[in-house]
A and B are shown apart, each in its own frame.
Chain A
Amino acid sequence: MIKAILIFNNHGKPRLSKFYEHYNEDTEQQIIRETFHLVSKRDENVCNFLEGGLLIGGLDYKLIYRHYATLYFVFCVDSSESELGILDLIQVFVETLDKCFENVCELDLIFHVDKVHHILAEMVMGGMVLETNMNEIITQVDAQNKMEKSETFIFQSTRQDR
């Protein structure tokens, strides 16, 4: 099971955090900080797995991460998941984001947090992997967007938008 999915940039600024187990807000922030600390001090070219920090920790849990340009994608998983499988999943996630946003960059994640959540929801649900087939995921996301479009045109008038 996936316990948490975190995305933060090279400076530790969170760009997405999704916890599948309940923590209070302070603990969540602490976990994000600690995870950043653990992951960011590692060299490139070392392995993509590390045993968790204290908070998310316990022997059964691992952090599995990938570093893309300015962003770290970190999954905290228990031993019921295949390590390499999760690495693939991160790759699918990033490729999907890339398709949906056309050359995704950090700014896309910042300005469209909700979209990123919705895309992630097509892949992971309640900590379990729902779908790994990118075409299927994109089809779902497209369908969502269509619905959204049809709705926005109805009520997006010339309002003062603040």
Chain B
Amino acid sequence: MPAVSKGDGMRGLAVFISDIRNCKSKESEVKRINKELANIRSKFKGDKALDGYSKKKYVCKLLFIFLLGHDIDFGHMEAVNLLSSNKYTEKQIGYLFISVLVNSNSDLIRLINNAIKNDLASRNSTFMNLALHCIANVGSREMAEAFASEIPRILVAGDTMDSVKQSAALCLLRLNRTSPDLVPMGEWTARVVHLLNDQHLGVVTAATSLITTLAQKSPDDFKTSVSLAVARLSRIVTSASIDLQDYTYYFVAAPWLSVKLLRLLQCYPPPEDTSLRSRLTECLETILNKAQEPPKSKKVQHSNAKNAVLFEAIALIIHHDSEPNLLVRACNQLGQFLQHRETNLRYLALESMCTLASSEFSHEAVKTHIETVINALKTERDVSVRQRAVDLLYAMCDRSNSKQIVAEMLSYLETADYSIREEIVLKVAILAEKYAVDYTWYVDTILNLIRIAGDYVSEEVWYRVIQIVINRDDVQGYAAKTVFEALQAPACHENLVKVGGYILGEFGNLIAGDPRSSPLVQFNLLHSKFHLCSVPTRALLLSAYIKFINLFPEVKGTIQDVLRSDSQLRNADVELQQRAVEYLRLSCIASTDILATVLEEMPPFPERESSILAKLKKKKGSSKLPDMDDSRKNVNGSTEHAEDAEVASKVPSHTFTDDLSVNSAPSSGASLLVDVFSDFSSAAPTEGSDEHFPRFVCKNNGIIYENQLLQIGLKSEYRQNLGRMYVFYGNKTSTQFLSFSTSVSSNDVLDSQLNVQEKPVDPLIEAGAQVQQILNIECVSDFSDAPILNIQFRYGGTLQNIAVKLPVMLNKFFQPTEMTSQDFFQRWKQLGAPQQEVQKIFKAKNQMDTDVSKAKLLGFGVALLDGVDPNPANFVGAGIIHTKTTQVGCLLRLEPNTQAQMYRLTLRTSKESVSQRLVELLSEQF
């Protein structure tokens, strides 16, 4: 029997829909809809109370009208009323309307929340599910505020139905995405992990999604999920598919759950435990083996599901990047897919190979597929696939194959789809520069780029070629000759005229010896393009002319005539006119010496990151680096200002620079200027962070700092009064960090109490790479401040400064001490002097959980003494702080009061400052 029988719908609704469908024109449709809207409005407003059925019918009509693209600005109240109906169908349609149509109208949200609250409390699983769905679909902040603490309870409660658990897990996941700050961590997290063992695979799948997201944010809290996930995965992969009845999809056992579990494992490094690790390796091998087996069904769904798991397994292998054997197998498998007849698989294989290309173990293996990839670029019918092929070629490019790859990309560019041309241009430009052994090849490549795809060559690209030619005198003569030849073409792109004008203006003298490119020939060639060019290009050409006057006195007369002509001196464009006037005047009054100084060859540009790379990054993910862009704009504002001032005061040695800036100003290239003239590049303000600091009081490893560019992780170990800290700097961008340096600073007081010695760190961090630095720490005497780690590096045009408070605290030098109850009380009494005891009473900031508190105290460094305190709820601990000069014995007692949600913490040590500091540190942890 069909689940929906076609006759029993709402007749009024069906009639209305048929009417709409019979409308011959848009106008009649709109008319019919307006009539219906008026009808519904009057029904809603009417005196007669509507029954649930009619409300439901009208709400359905509104939904249909909304789908057709018409605004619905009423009916919300009726929908909310439907929520509190106890008829399932009415409630359901009310929730549907709300989740499709409600925006954050706060009055209504309160009413909706009320209804949701009732349904959540109803213990009716259908109603609870509807309510959870609504929270997840709307996902607004108000809802998160109202329910974020309630949902974890539902999720881990023992008597919750499976289907509700499933919804609760996803609902929580949704809230965690929209308002992470409102979802409290706590006791439930440990129990969520155990849902991975649940009987019901639907629950496991939902829980895996939830844990994956949470683990990305706080990996340490969910570490235990790794072993459970491996166990679960292993059971699925090795089981005969009958075990999983319903979750077998076209002969593949629980593909969806397998994919999710493999994703979860990608949040963690390979397991350290060897048996666990070998179990996982076994799973991955089995998955790879299965790919070679003959298919159990010819249906595409079968191969889809199987390959979904396979690709995820490969992604995990790439993520771990540790088993060369698996990596090579993964690469071979992808190689097979590159030639598969399924387009989807070719697409995904190209995509996965892109990430594989960056692994050192498999880079070479990926390179062996170069011919196949080039072939894909030429023959694939699908632009999505060709795009992936371009990406992969870019990723696999290195010095050995760069010429081939660049040549192929250039030839593809001639026929490439318009949508991806600009990106290819940028990629070619970057590769050509990165792997240029001799710069003649580079110059040729860029000029070819301009010839083939001039319209797609952005300013960054031709700025960059000029920067490089100016900075390398070995290529200047060649560049001058090549642009001269390229300019001979009857129709050449304006970008070529710009490059040509600039380069001949600087280095035309290098080819002037040849009568075929004598000064006059050069000038005539440039000037023949002048009238076809836009204003900025003409301005640049005028500057080239005045440079010619300096380089070649013999053409001075000719050029002065040109400058003097009405079309220049009286040009309607102010900029052109001013240049003509000033240059003409300059050429008349200045002596040769002055001219030579003013119009001297451009000084080399400072080395910096390619502006093209920045552009590519921007294209790829503009949202990722917003702060960078902002700082550039600011810098740029001041740059222009500075240059204006220069022109005004007639300090003329930068004439050409001015011209370039005029070229790109004012609308187009705000951010580009800085790259070209980075004398003005400035340091971004120091960014500081100590938000993660408190987290390290009770643990030694983790992420201490992270922004869009950089992630800093720490591992530390302490013995007695000595410590060693491993600092990991991870470059999150796709660009190198240059001039990377660090220093540790502390104030004068701290300086005498704590020695921190840093080992050198690599000044260059490659894109996506991580470098490690070791800090050796010695505690001389007790201290209460923390040293600051200052990090400085150059990213793009800007200098980045970051200051991080290093989590070196006094308690790190604890040695736990076991003692009997008798000893403890004896010492407790000995330390009875008022200045030796420090006590603090404070409110609990987290859930009061015995196990968590225990773990924190152990992490703090003391030994926990059982059976000392008569009240078993209290904690008692002891330890010795080691410093170079002295050792300080410490006793502590923590008394939780769950009713009042308060703690009392007492510390007794032989030194007041130690007691004080330890209380400060520890009381923040609960």
B716 lies within 8 A of chain A by Cβ: no
Considering the complex, give the chain A residue whose CB is closest to the CB of B620: A59
Give the distance in Å from the alpha carbon of A49 to the alpha carbon of B256 in the complex: 19
Residues of B within 8 A of A149 (CB): 8
Considering the complex, give the chain B residue whose CB is closest to the CB of A98: B2
Complex A-B: 25 CB contacts under 8 Å: A15-B67, A18-B100, A22-B103, A51-B387, A59-B621, A83-B311, A88-B255, A91-B304, A99-B2, A101-B3, A101-B4, A110-B17, A111-B6, A112-B9, A113-B67, A126-B136, A126-B139, A128-B136, A131-B202, A131-B205, A144-B92, A145-B3, A148-B88, A151-B89, A156-B53
CB pair A47 B12 closer than 8 Å:
no
Beyond A25-B69, A82-B308, list 17 extra A-B contacts (CB 8 Å).
Answer: A22-B103, A46-B381, A47-B385, A59-B621, A60-B621, A80-B212, A84-B344, A85-B259, A88-B249, A101-B6, A126-B136, A126-B171, A129-B256, A132-B249, A143-B126, A148-B88, A151-B89
The 8 Å CB contact of B304, one of A18, A59, A84, A121, is A84
CB pair A111 B623 closer than 8 Å:
no
The 8 Å CB contact of B167, one of A82, A89, A130, is A130
Give the distance in Å from the alpha carbon of A15 to the alpha carbon of B381 in the complex: 30
Give the distance in Å from the alpha carbon of A128 to the alpha carbon of B263 in the complex: 14
B585 lies within 8 A of chain A by Cβ: no
A141 lies within 8 A of chain B by Cβ: yes
For the complex of A and B, the 7 pairs showing the least CB-CB separation, nearest first, are A126-B136, A84-B308, A46-B382, A102-B2, A126-B174, A100-B3, A47-B343
Give the distance in Å from the alpha carbon of A17 to the alpha carbon of B206 in the complex: 24
Which residues of chain B from 52 to 107 have any CB-CB distance to chain A below 8 Å in the complex? 52-53, 57, 60, 63-64, 66-69, 71, 87-89, 92-93, 96, 100, 103-104
Give the distance in Å from the alpha carbon of A152 to the alpha carbon of B90 in the complex: 11
CB pair A129 B205 closer than 8 Å:
yes
- Cβ distance A151 to chain B, nearest Cβ, rounded Å: 5
- Cβ distance B194 to chain A, nearest Cβ, rounded Å: 20
The 8 Å CB contact of A82, one of B92, B96, B259, B620, is B259
Give the distance in Å from the alpha carbon of A96 to the alpha carbon of B68 in the complex: 25
Give the distance in Å from the alpha carbon of A126 to the alpha carbon of B311 in the complex: 26
Answer whether A49 and B384 are a contact pair too, CB < 8 Å, given A83-B348, A125-B170, A135-B246: yes
CB pair B137 A125 closer than 8 Å:
yes
CB pair A111 B17 closer than 8 Å:
yes
CB pair A126 B89 closer than 8 Å:
no
Residues of B within 8 A of A129 (CB): 205, 209, 256
CB pair B263 A91 closer than 8 Å:
no
Considering the complex, give the chain B residue whose CB is closest to the CB of A24: B103
Residues of A within 8 A of B126 (CB): 143-144, 147
Answer whether A151 and B256 are a contact pair too, CB < 8 Å, given A47-B382, A126-B171, A133-B202: no
CB pair A113 B60 closer than 8 Å:
yes
Which A residues lie at the B interface, using CB under 8 A? 1, 14-18, 20, 22, 24-25, 29, 32, 42-43, 45-51, 58-60, 80, 82-85, 87-89, 91-92, 99-102, 108, 110-115, 117-118, 121, 125-136, 138, 140-145, 147-149, 151-152, 155-156, 161-162
Residues of B within 8 A of A92 (CB): 249
Answer whether A162 and B384 are a contact pair too, CB < 8 Å, given A47-B346, A87-B344, A126-B170: no
Highest count of chain B CB atoms <10 Å: which of A1, A29, A84: A84
- Cβ distance B36 to chain A, nearest Cβ, rounded Å: 10
Answer whether A47 and B620 are a contact pair too, CB < 8 Å, given A84-B308, A125-B137, A125-B171: no
Residues of B within 8 A of A24 (CB): 103
Give the distance in Å from the alpha carbon of A114 to the alpha carbon of B90 in the complex: 12
Considering the complex, give the chain A residue whose CB is closest to the CB of B71: A25
Considering the complex, give the chain A residue whose CB is closest to the CB of B344: A47
- Cβ distance B646 to chain A, nearest Cβ, rounded Å: 40
Which residues of chain B from 506 to 527 have any CB-CB distance to chain A below 8 Å in the complex? none
Residues of B within 8 A of A110 (CB): 17, 21
Give the distance in Å from the alpha carbon of A121 to the alpha carbon of B137 in the complex: 10
- Cβ distance B651 to chain A, nearest Cβ, rounded Å: 44
Residues of B within 8 A of A1 (CB): 177
CB pair A58 B621 closer than 8 Å:
yes
Give the distance in Å from the alpha carbon of A59 to the alpha carbon of B625 in the complex: 14
B907 lies within 8 A of chain A by Cβ: no
CB pair A121 B133 closer than 8 Å:
yes
B407 lies within 8 A of chain A by Cβ: no
B251 lies within 8 A of chain A by Cβ: no
Residues of B within 8 A of A17 (CB): 67
The 8 Å CB contact of B87, one of A45, A118, A145, A151, is A151
Give the distance in Å from the alpha carbon of A149 to the alpha carbon of B89 in the complex: 9
CB pair B173 A14 closer than 8 Å:
no
Answer whether A84 and B305 are a contact pair too, CB < 8 Å, given A102-B2, A162-B12: yes
Chain B 1-39 against A: per-residue CB contact (8 Å), 1 yes, 0 no? Answer: 011101011111111010001000000000000000000
CB pair A155 B53 closer than 8 Å:
yes
The 8 Å CB contact of A111, one of B14, B66, B177, B247, is B14
Give the distance in Å from the alpha carbon of A113 to the alpha carbon of B304 in the complex: 29
Size class of B's contact patch? Answer: 35 or more
Residues of A within 8 A of B132 (CB): 125
B51 lies within 8 A of chain A by Cβ: yes
CB pair B205 A45 closer than 8 Å:
no
Residues of A within 8 A of B167 (CB): 125, 130
Answer whether A47 and B347 are a contact pair too, CB < 8 Å, given A84-B305, A118-B96: yes
Residues of A within 8 A of B567 (CB): none
Answer whether A155 and B209 are a contact pair too, CB < 8 Å, given A45-B343, A82-B311, A117-B96: no
Residues of A within 8 A of B137 (CB): 20, 125-126
Chain B 231-251 against A: per-residue CB contact (8 Å), 1 yes, 0 no? Answer: 000000000000000110100
Answer whether A49 and B347 are a contact pair too, CB < 8 Å, given A88-B304, A100-B3, A128-B174: yes
B362 lies within 8 A of chain A by Cβ: no
Highest count of chain B CB atoms <10 Å: which of A32, A115, A148: A148
CB pair B3 A49 closer than 8 Å:
no
Residues of B within 8 A of A100 (CB): 2-4
Considering the complex, give the chain A residue whose CB is closest to the CB of B72: A25
- Cβ distance A50 to chain B, nearest Cβ, rounded Å: 5
Residues of A within 8 A of B11 (CB): 161
Considering the complex, give the chain A residue whose CB is closest to the CB of B209: A128
CB pair B205 A112 closer than 8 Å:
no
CB pair B384 A50 closer than 8 Å:
yes
- Cβ distance A64 to chain B, nearest Cβ, rounded Å: 10
Residues of B within 8 A of A142 (CB): 3
Residues of A within 8 A of B291 (CB): none
CB pair B174 A127 closer than 8 Å:
yes
Answer whether A131 and B166 are a contact pair too, CB < 8 Å, given A14-B67, A58-B621, A144-B92: yes
CB pair A83 B344 closer than 8 Å:
yes
B201 lies within 8 A of chain A by Cβ: yes
CB pair B9 A136 closer than 8 Å:
no
Give the distance in Å from the alpha carbon of A115 to the alpha carbon of B64 in the complex: 12
Residues of B within 8 A of A156 (CB): 53
Give the distance in Å from the alpha carbon of A84 to the alpha carbon of B249 in the complex: 13
The 8 Å CB contact of A140, one of B89, B163, B205, B259, is B163
The 8 Å CB contact of A88, one of B92, B206, B256, B263, is B256
B307 lies within 8 A of chain A by Cβ: yes
Give the distance in Å from the alpha carbon of A108 to the alpha carbon of B6 in the complex: 8
Residues of B within 8 A of A101 (CB): 2-4, 6
Give the distance in Å from the alpha carbon of A108 to the alpha carbon of B2 in the complex: 12
The 8 Å CB contact of A85, one of B53, B69, B139, B308, is B308
Answer whether A138 and B3 are a contact pair too, CB < 8 Å, given A43-B381, A128-B170: yes
- Cβ distance B66 to chain A, nearest Cβ, rounded Å: 8
CB pair A115 B4 closer than 8 Å:
yes
- Cβ distance A97 to chain B, nearest Cβ, rounded Å: 9
Residues of B within 8 A of A136 (CB): 202, 246
B312 lies within 8 A of chain A by Cβ: yes
Which residues of chain B from 305 to 336 have any CB-CB distance to chain A below 8 Å in the complex? 305, 307-308, 311-312
Give the distance in Å from the alpha carbon of A32 to the alpha carbon of B66 in the complex: 13
Residues of A within 8 A of B4 (CB): 100-101, 108, 112, 115, 145
The 8 Å CB contact of A87, one of B53, B69, B304, is B304
